[in-house]
Amino acid sequence: MVVAKKTRKSVRRSVSLAAETDAQVQKLALYRRLSANRILEDLIETGLAAKEAEKRRFFELAERLRVASDVQEIQRLKDELARMTFGS
């Protein structure tokens, strides 16, 4: 059985990184035996997925708040939503 390899269209971007960030990227690339470009792509994809998960979590909490009736649960959900929105 032959498995078709999914090809993705690439777009060239130019980015500037802080020297410390670049050093970390190079270290990861060396450790994982990948190109620095591949490491950057992985990090960006991971960051985008994390942002999407955070958004889903926010809307889950908002829905739970909408239907909650227990005063303590309502306050806990409000506090958690405030932390997500404004930080600790």
Q: DSSP letter at 42?
A: H
pLDDT tens track for 53-81: 999 999 999 999 999 999 999 999 999 99
What average pLDDT does the segment 33-45 reach?
Answer: 96
What average pLDDT does the segment 36-41 reach?
Answer: 95
Q: DSSP letter at 80?
A: H
Q: Name the average pLDDT for the chain.
A: 92
Q: What are phi and psi of 17, to 5 degrees?
A: -120, 150
Contacts 24+ apart (CB under 8 A), 13-18: 15/40
Answer yes or no: is pLDDT of 43 > 90. yes
